[in-house]
Amino acid sequence: MFVFFLICSTGIHAQTAKANLDQFKLMQQGLGTWQGDVGKDTVEVRETLQYGKSFISNVDYNIKGKKSPVYITNFCFDSKEGNFKGFTLLPSGDYRTFIGLWTTEKKLSLDVVQNFKPETVYRKIELLWETPTKMTWTEFNTDGVKTRICKFNKVK
C-alpha cells in the first residue's frame, strides 16, 4: 500500500510541476538574433520576434558573407491543447508543422509532424538553454539517433 501511495503522489507531483511552467514566458527566452556555425564558412542566423501572443522566426544561412534563406516559422501556444504549434515555410514552397512544449525551464521539446497530427512524428528537436545567451539545438530521427547538433550564441 505504501508503494501505491508513493507512486500516486509522485505522479501527481510531476504533473503539477509541469503544468506550472509558464509556456509563453519561457518561449520569450528565444527572442532576438542567434548565430551558430553549421559548416565551413556557414553560419546559421535565427531572428525571432514576438508578434502579439505569437512568434515569428526567420532563419538564414550566411555562406561566405552571402545571405541565403532557409525557412520562416510562425508559432503560438494552443491553450486548448496545451502545447505550441508551428508552421514552417521553406523557400521551395514546401512546409513542415510541429508541436512542442517546454518540459523544463531550460528545455523545449518539439515533434516535427505531418499536418499537426501527433501520431505522424518524423523528427524530434530539443532546444536547451544553458544560459540566457547560449542555446543548443539537437535533432533526432525516429530511432532516437542524433542527426544534428548546433550551438547558438545570442548576438542581440
pLDDT digits (tens, 9 = 90+) for 71-92: 999 999 998 989 999 999 999 9
pLDDT in the model for residue 20? 82
Q: Average pLDDT, stretch 103-131?
A: 95
What confidence category does residue 17 fall into, taking pLDDT thresholds of 50, 70 and 90?
Answer: very low
Could you tell me which residue, 14 or 61, shows the higher pLDDT? 61
| Distance, CA of 60 to CA of 47 (rounded, Å) | 9
* Residue 13 confidence (pLDDT) above 60: no
* Residue 1 confidence (pLDDT) above 80: no
Regarding pTM above 0.95, the answer is no
What domains can you pick out in the chain, each with its CATH number? 22-154 (2.40.128.20)
Q: Average pLDDT, stretch 87-109?
A: 96
* Residue 44 confidence (pLDDT) above 90: yes
pLDDT in the model for residue 119? 93
pLDDT in the model for residue 5? 35
Q: Average pLDDT, stretch 140-145?
A: 92
In the chain, % of residues over pLDDT 70: 88
Q: Average pLDDT, stretch 106-129?
A: 95
pLDDT in the model for residue 39? 87
